[in-house]
Structure 1
C-alpha cells in the first residue's frame, strides 16, 4: 500500500508541448505518475498547417495506438510501404531508379495531425498553454525540482514543483544548456526548403495529373530524388496533400531569435524556384511553385551526448539527441524515448528514481548516439559532401548494388524494440506490422 501511495503521488513536470512532451505525458501517466506539461505556445495547433510531414515507423505506430484511438491513427496516416531512390538528370529531365525497398512499412502523417491526436487523447488540464519556461532549481536533497514559468497572457510568474523534470524543449534546449553549456549545434552544410501542397480543391489539375504520372506510387511510397544539387523527398499525406523537401547545400543562414526554421521573403522563394528548375523534374518544380508559404529549415545536429540525466532532470527527444533528418528518426526517437522512460519509471517506482533514470539512459544512449552519427553520414552521402572514408556518391553512374547504401533500413536499431517494451509491442517485429 505504501509503495502504491508513493507511485500515485509522484509528479513530473515536462517542459515542451511538442510531440516529445505530449508523448512523454502519455507514457508517464500510464506509469502512474501525475504530469503537467508547460508549453509557451498560447493554444493547441487545432489541425492547422503548422509544421510539415513526417514518417512513423512500425514501433511508433504500435506505441501511439496504446495512447490514442487506433482507428483515428489509421485514418490520419497513409502507408509508405515503399522507399524509392532515383537519380535525376537535371539537364535531360529524366530519372533512373537507384534502389527500391518494398518492405519499408512506415506511415506518412502531418505533424499537426499527429500532435492533435496525441493532445486530444489527454485530459485537457495536463498541458498549460502559454507558459514560457524561465528557470529551474533542484532541491538540496535532490528529491524535487522547482520550475519557474511566465504566464504569457498575464505576465505572472508561477512555480511548479515535481519529483522529476523532463526536458522536452527541443534541439535548442535551455535545460540541456544548463548542464552542457559548451555543447553547440553543428550546421550540416545545407538547408531544407519544404512545404505541403494542398490540392484538395483541384485534384484534376495538370500539375497533379503530371505529378502522379511521374511518381506513380504516391500514396504508398517515400520518393527520394538524388541530383547534382542535393536531394529531394516527396510523399503524400491524407486529405490530398503532398509533402516535399529539398535539401540544398548552402552557407549557414542567420535566423532571428532562438529558431532553426524561418519564413522567407518572396525574392528568396523565387530564387529557390529558379534554382530548382535547373536540377529537378518539372513535375516536382510545379508542386514547389504551387505550394503556399514554403519555408526554410536549417539542418543541424550535435555530437552524441555522454549522459541523458542529472539528478532528477532527464532529457528526451531532440533535447537529448539533436539529429539530422536522414534516418527518419527525430519523431520516432522522441516517441520511443517517452515510452522507455515511462516503463523505467513504472518498473522502479519513484522511490528508486535514480535507478529508473539510469536504466532509461542505458537503453537509449547508445541507440541515440549511433543513429545521430548514421543520419549525419547519410545526409553527407545524399548531398554529395565529402567523407573521410569514401568517394562522393555518384548518382549518375551508381549501380543498384552501390545504391543500397541509401536505404534507411541500414540505420542501426532499425525497427528495434527495447526488451522493456516487448510486452507492449508483443516482443516481435512482425506483431508491429499494421
Structure 2
C-alpha cells in the first residue's frame, strides 16, 4: 500500500508522466482518461520537440529506451526569410547548439504507458464529471464509464488535474479565466514518406531543406511562418501559421476538422507563399487539420482546495507552441511534483508538498508562457509590447533576428527542480 492515492484526471502525456513521478514518490495512482484505449504509436499524429532536461527525465521513467532509435537529434535551430515572389530563402538566425530531440506524440505516449509502475492503474474510457472534498481530507472523483454509461466514484488523497488547456477542474477554481486567442491558427500535417525516399517530392524537399533530420526549420514570410522537421520512422512534421479572426469552435477541442474546400484553398495559398518544394509537400500530405492557437495569462496559483488539488500540464499553463514548451513543461511539472511529494512524505496531507511544487514551477511556467506568446507574435509579424509595427523578416537586421532563436526562452538551459533538496 502506498503513502496515499493520487487521482489523475487526464491520461495524455502529462497525466502518464505524473503517474510515473507520483508512483516514484511512493503513492498509488489512478489515472482517469476518456479515450477508450492508449495510443498505439502509429498513424500520423503529431510531432514534438524535447529538450535535454525532459529527455533525461523520460529516460529515467522508460528503462531501456533507445533514444537514438526513438528520436531524431535536432542539433540546429534555423530561422530563414522566404521571399514569396522569388521563392528564395536566406538565413536570419542560426543556432548550431540547439540540443533538442524530435519525437512522435503517439510513440512517446505508448512508451510512457507500457512502462508505468505497478502502482499505477489507468482507467480508459472514464470521463471525468466532478469532484468533492471528502470529510477525511481527501477527494471523491466522479466519472462516467463511456462503454456502459454507469457512474463511478474514485476516492483519493490528492487530485491531479492533467485535463488539458480547457480544464474543467481549473474552471472550478478560476471560473473567469478565459483562453486567449493568439490571432492566428495553424494548419498541421505529417507526411509519411516510407517507401518514397526517391520520389520527386522527397528529392525536392531534401534539396530545399538539406539539413532535415538534424534541423528545426522556421521559414518566415510576410506575416506568416512555417515549421518543418523530420520525425523518426520516415515522417516529416509541418505547421503553417495564418493570421485571422478567431474561428467558431464547438465542444472543448481546439482542433478543427478541415473540409475539402478549406484544404483546397490552403493548398493553393501554399503555392503562392512558399517555395515549390514545401508547397508540394503540403499538397501531398493526407488529412491536414487546423489547430486554433490559444494560451492564457499565467495563473495566480497551481494548487487549490487546501492542498488537495494541483494543476499540471496544459491545465496549469495553456501556451502557444512556438517555444516547444507544452510537452517539456508537462514533463517537468510531473518530475517536480513527484520530488516534492517524496520530500514531504511525512506530512499527513500533501499541502506543503504542493506549496513547494507551486514555488518551484509557477515562476518558470509563467515566464515561458509569456515568452512563447511574444515569440509567436514576432514570427507572425504581429505587434509586440505596444509597438506600432510587427517584425518583418524582409527588412530585419541580423541583431533583430537573434530574438527569433529558441534559446531566448527563459530557462532554456534547464528549469530548477526540487531534486536537489531545495528551491
Q: Does 1:278 align with 2:275?
A: no
Q: Which moved more, 1:265-274 or 1:50-59?
A: 50-59
Q: Does 1:366 align with 2:366?
A: no
Cα offset for 1:228?
A: 1.3
| CA contact 2:39–2:107 (8 Å) conserved in 1 | no
User: For residues 89 and 422 of structure 1, what CA distance do their matches in structure 2 show?
Assistant: 49
Q: Is 1:399 paired with 2:391?
A: no
Q: 2:320 aligns with which of 324, 343, 348?
A: 324
CA distance in 1, matches of 2:311, 2:113: 20
Q: Give the TM-score taking structure 1 as reference length.
A: 0.93
Greater than 4 Å deviation, 4+ residue runs: none
Q: Distance in 2 between matches of 1:419 and 1:38?
A: 26
For the residue of structure 1 that corresponds to 2:370, the secondary structure is: helix
Unaligned runs of 5+ in 2: none
Q: How many angstroms does 1:24 deviate by?
A: 0.3
**One of 368, 380, 385 as aligned partner of 1:383:** 380
Q: Secondary structure of 1:333's partner?
A: helix
Which deviations, in whole Å up to 9, do the C-alpha atoms of 1:360-381 show, x marking residues without a partner?
A: 0001111111111111111111
Q: SS where residue 318 of structure 1 aligns?
A: helix
The aligned residue for residue 348 of structure 2 is 351
Whole-Å separation in 2 of the counterparts to 1:192 and 1:419? 32
Instruction: Provide the C-alpha distance between the structure 2 equivalents of 1:392 and 1:70, rounded to a whole number of angstroms.
Output: 47
The aligned runs of 1:73-88 (5 Å cut-off) are 73-88=67-82
Q: Distance in 1 between matches of 2:338 and 2:11?
A: 17
Aligned to 1:301: 295
| Larger mean Cα displacement after TM superposition, 26-35 or 70-79 | 70-79
Residue of structure 2 aligned with 1:249, choices 243, 254, 257: 243
Does 1:333 pair with 2:329?
A: yes
Taking the aligned partners of 2:135 and 2:320, their CA distance within structure 1 comes to 37
Q: State the alpha-carbon separation in 1 of the partners of residues 290 and 251 from structure 2.
A: 15
Tell me the equivalent position of 1:130.
125
Which deviates further from its counterpart, 67-76 or 29-38? Answer: 67-76
Q: Tell me, what secondary structure is at the counterpart of 1:362? A: helix
Q: How far apart are the structure 1 equivalents of 2:365 and 2:223?
A: 29
1:111 equivalent in structure 2:
105
What does residue 266 of structure 1 align with?
260
Using the TM superposition, give the Cα deviation of residue 139 of structure 1 relative to its aligned residue in structure 2, in angstroms.
2.0
Deviations 1:143-198 (A, max 9, x none): 20000000111111110000000000000000000000000000000000001000
Shift of 1:69: 2.7
Q: Is the 8 A contact 2:143 2:153 kept in 1?
A: yes
Report what 1:420 is aligned to.
Answer: 418
Tell me the CA shift for residue 308 of structure 1.
0.4
**Using a 3 Å threshold, how does the CA distance of structure 1 residues 326 and 393 change in structure 2: closer, same or farther?**
same
**Residue 138 of structure 2 aligns with which residue?**
144
The answer to whether the 8 Å contact 2:45/2:190 transfers is no
* Separation in 2, partners of 1:202, 1:372: 38
Deviation of the 1:416 alpha carbon: 2.0
The 1:70/1:402 distance shift into structure 2, 3 A limit, reads farther
Q: Hey, what's the Cα distance between the residues in 1 that align with 2:200 and 2:232? A: 20
TM-score with structure 2 setting the length = 0.96
Match of 2:49 in 1: 55
* Structure 2 partner of 1:26: 20
Which residue pairs with 2:30 in the alignment?
36
Question: Are the aligned partners of 2:190 and 2:237 in contact in 1 as well (CA < 8 Å)?
Answer: yes
Q: Distance in 1 between matches of 2:238 and 2:417?
A: 35
Structure 1 pair 119–33 and aligned structure 2 pair: CA distance change class (3 A)? same
Cα distance change of structure 1 residues 39 and 185 upon mapping to structure 2, 3 Å threshold: same
State the shift of 1:235 in Å.
0.1
Match of 2:168 among 174, 194, 209: 174
Structure 1 regions of 5+ residues with no counterpart?
424-434
Report the counterpart of residue 288 of structure 1 in structure 2: 282
Deviates more, 1:162-171 or 1:384-393: 384-393
In 1: Cα distance, 2:223 partner to 2:285 partner: 21
Shift of 1:410: 0.6
Which stretch shifts more, 273-282 or 240-249? 273-282
Any idea what SS the aligned residue of 1:239 has?
Answer: coil
Q: Which residue of 168, 179, 188 corresponds with 1:185?
A: 179
Residue correspondences, number? 417
* Alpha-carbon distance in 1 for matches of 2:180, 2:154: 33
Counterparts of 1:319 and 1:285, CA distance in 2: 35
